[in-house]
A and B are shown apart, each in its own frame.
Chain A
Amino acid sequence: MSDRAPLLRIRDLAFQSAGAAKAEIEGLSLTVHPRDTLILLGEAGSGAGAVMRLLAQVPSSGANVSGTIQIRERPEQLLGKSTVLDVRTAYLPGPHANVLNPHENVHSQLSLVIARRLRQPKKSAAAELDLALQRLPGAPSPDALNQPPARVAPEALAAGLLAAAVAQTPELLLADDPLGELSPAQAQAFASVLKAEQERLGFALLYSAMRADAARLLGGNLVVLRSGRLIEEGPVSRLATAQSHSYTQTLFRASVPGDGAISGRAAARGEPLLRLQGVQLKRPGKSKDREKITFELRRGASLGLIGEIGSGRRSLARALLGMEPVAAGRIVFDQVDISVLSSAMMARLRRRVSFITGDDDALDPRMTIFDTVSEPLRAHLAMPRDLVAHNRDAALKRVGLAALPGSRTVATLTPFDRRRLQIARAIVSQPLLAVIDEPLHGLDAFAQSVVRDLLRNFRSNEGAAIVFITSDFGLARAFCEDGFVFKEGRIVERGTMSNLLRAPQEPHTRKLLEAVAVLPATGGADMKPVSGPAAAPVAPPTAEP
């Protein structure tokens, strides 16, 4: 901890929203020093959100707030639901948090926020925003933000939100997990920029995180929260080690990328399940510019399609399932050329394909838990009712959802439960091919750890071939034997995962690897923040000097 006078010190904070059954925070004490980083780490419902709301001074009507706050060296004051805090704060949400109006352009909205916070005319606020954007390395041009939020790329939106926050020259930046929904490479780049801005402007950073990755990237001090109570606090470097509370260890273990790479090569597994011969994807441009893709996925083997959002990995996945026509080439699934199949025949073939995705809308929100799991059995197999129930219950038990009432609808489930329900549905389908698409997206650390274990279990028990779509090399390493690395619609590198990890040939592959700090031999991870000494996650033989 620093010897400097704290920027703010909160003691015995308790917070209960109007109508809530229990307090969101109980007896929490925090100290934030100028220029320091304090990370509030906890799963959903940990209480970090309430701290953010309180410090952002958004009135919570009917909320019950108690405790004291001391700002700089001024006398301590009692905390209430509308206590005025004499600290310049700025709020930095994540790019997927839907904090902006969907119709108005991003630049205009951010300018308005700056204008109101700095009490300036909107024109000069817009100039401040443009200046802040120019200062941020890799930030988009102001013109790129002259679009509604949906048309702005997530990394550009994140940069715009950061520029708007730093343009307010805050003393305290309240960051609501902006790294959480970025890909590892984007998160790493964003964390570097955030830390550089903190260094330049000297603000204190209070970061609310659901996963330990953010702590790993940002460093500083950590407060671990669970159900509104403080579990442990201290520097990230200490708490990330084994000497910490078991809950903290769980959170950090869940964020370790690629723990335990799979062994063995797909070649010996059996007959080919999926064969692509000279396939050209339909894309704008001349056909001679399009690459021809040829590969073979054997039964039980796994292939990683690795790249950022929009890099073309999903186009290939869609094409190989016959959901998108191809410009040229032949795709053979289970020894059948899918280009000659009628839509009805294709539907029959797809019965042996399952999806497990990070998309919370992948399941029908109106269906019950029982119906969701039973549907593939009822739709595909004329199975007796008791056998359907038996398989359904067994699958739900395997994913840990057996205790939930089967009549609950999907709409009422948490993202974690929905993800497990998708796995249960995949289990009963007994697929030949499972498409697993960013399966940990948006989950907190504990949920990620459980889903990762369930997927590992699914992979080893079901024997399905797997196409794994991810931007995280750590995950690809844990689940895939072969990998294609995508960039801007093209496959820039391909090979076995061990080769990609050991000797990446392309700078883009190296960038993705560095982002998750995957170490090829030990399977561990470097816990040092990026701003510290160079982490050297992978040392490829062809590494640039």
Chain B
Amino acid sequence: MSGVAARTGSSRHPRMFRTIIGTAGIAGLGLIAVVVALNNVVARVSAGAVHVAPPLLAPGAGFVLGTDALGRDVMSETVHALAVSFSSAALAAAIAVFVGAFAGFAAVRMPLRLGEFVRAVSGVVRTVPALLLAVVLVALSARDFSTIAVGLAICPAIFNRSFDSAMRLARSRHAVYARASGIPGLTLLRRDLVYELRRNFLYVAGRALAAAATILATLSFLGFGAVPPHRDLGLMIAQARDSYLSAWWCAFFPALALVVFVLCARFAATDDNGDVS
């Protein structure tokens, strides 16, 4: 019941530094969200409009980011594709975080060591890379369900993290003392959910968003993701493959948008408070 706690060191990066990076990430995501919300205003032509200008026009005064092989405005197309990528990734991340985190915390409280069984199954699922799992799920359903498939493919990682964290908390000395003085299990579950959500939400959500965006773009690039005419960034890059050696801008700007989006999500995830055990 008692004993001296092992005093372990903490802190990874200097606190100030992490905060600046995290703030930059959150601000970047906010800016992207604004661009996405106003995509019809920011983009000068509607999504998928072809032959608005001569094909493969280099970036210049008329078309800031140039045009592609079908004469589409690369800037407008990039903004529309970013909107598709952002909303799909956000939905996939939301599914993964909600299902994974909640199931992880709830599984620890399951009777008859059922939670540990689910954790073992999830461990086995994680022997398959999330990308391959997403491909299988899309192939089992349809390309229209790629967002849900990606959300479910990321889920085991978040479930495992939440489960391990919840298990550590359930076995922690403060939880033992709380149970010994009659604090109900539901109160402890609520306590864990609220505090862990407050402390780690940015980290888990940021990482999930980055992973979802990367996998969704890769799926589209491989032909398992977005279905035309709804082009996301991955599909835009895939369609620019034939022309990007001569017209680099066709692939470069959507790629840049994708990297910046993933980077912002990752930076936002660095501003976590770390685990408490």
Contact = CB atoms under 8 A, between A and B. Distances in A.
The answer to whether A and B touch directly, with their CB atoms under 8 angstroms apart, is yes
A309 B4 CA distance: 12
Contact of B1 (A181, A359, A375): A359
Interface in A177-203: 181
A359 B3 contact: yes
A429 B178 CA distance: 12
Contacts of B17: none
Interface stretch (B35-43, B64-72, B183-191): B183-191
A359 B180 contact: no
Nearest to B175: A364
A437 interface: yes
Contacts, number: 90
A308 to B, nearest CB: 13
B181 A364 contact: no
A367 B191 contact: yes
A365 interface: yes
A348 interface: yes
B174 A363 contact: yes
B172 A361 contact: yes
Nearest to B174: A364
Contacts of A351: 181-182
Nearest to A149: B6
A438 interface: yes
A408 interface: no
A347 B184 contact: yes
A283 interface: no
B5 interface: yes
Interface in B1-20: 1-7
Given A362-B173, A366-B195, A366-B199, A314 B1 contact: yes
B231 to A, nearest CB: 44
Interface in A333-362: 347-355, 357-362
A353 B174 contact: no
B276 interface: yes
Given A364-B174, A365-B276, A359 B2 contact: yes
A364 B182 contact: no
Contact of A181 (B4, B180, B191): B4
A170 B159 CA distance: 55
A438 B2 contact: yes
B179 interface: yes
B117 interface: no
A355 B181 CA distance: 7
B195 A367 contact: yes
A22 interface: no
Contacts of A406: none
B165 to A, nearest CB: 12
Contacts of A317: 1
A431 B182 CA distance: 11
B5 A353 contact: no
B276 A366 contact: yes
B195 A359 contact: no
Contacts of A366: 191, 195, 199, 276
A508 interface: no
A98 interface: yes
A348 B276 contact: no
A349 B4 CA distance: 28
Contact of A362 (B177, B183, B184, B195): B177
Contact of B183 (A359, A376, A442): A376
Contact of B181 (A314, A350, A360): A350
Contacts of A376: 181, 183
Contacts of B175: 364
Contact of B177 (A318, A355, A379): A355
Nearest to B187: A379
29 contacts: A318-B1, A347-B179, A347-B184, A347-B185, A348-B182, A350-B180, A351-B181, A353-B182, A355-B180, A355-B181, A357-B1, A357-B177, A359-B3, A359-B4, A359-B5, A360-B5, A361-B5, A361-B173, A361-B174, A362-B2, A362-B174, A364-B178, A364-B195, A366-B195, A366-B199, A376-B183, A380-B182, A441-B4, A469-B2
Which 3 interchain pairs have the tightest Cβ spacing?
Answer: A351-B182, A350-B182, A366-B195
Given A181-B4, A362-B174, A379-B184, 14 more contacts: A321-B180, A350-B179, A350-B180, A359-B1, A361-B172, A362-B2, A364-B195, A365-B276, A366-B199, A367-B195, A375-B191, A411-B276, A429-B181, A469-B2
